[in-house]
Amino acid sequence: MPEGDGERAIAECLNCGNAYAAKEWPDGTIQPIGTRNGCQCGSTEFQIVEETTTTDLHED
């Protein structure tokens, strides 16, 4: 496991698109939480899913 504190995130498997709760480590490693062998499809490559921000809608 990488050194330091990981930040929780949602990660998507680059092979099949399954999403997992994950930790992103300071060295850039992304590891799904609760799985040691990666995705159920066998892939070990993930990307962080970008959070969408909400926009305040104001009526003029």
Burial of 39 from C-beta contacts in 10 A (0-12 / 13-18 / 19+): buried
Entry pTM? 0.69
The answer for residues whose C-beta is within 8 angstroms of residue 37's C-beta and 6 or more apart is 44
Residue 2: pLDDT band (50, 70, 90) is low
Predicted pLDDT at 5 = 76
| Residue 58 pLDDT exceeds 70 | no
DSSP secondary structure code for residue 40 in this structure: T
pLDDT single digits (tens) 4-20:
677 899 999 999 999 99
Domain ranges of the chain: 7-48
Predicted pLDDT at 35 = 85
pLDDT single digits (tens) 29-57:
999 998 888 999 999 999 999 754 444 45
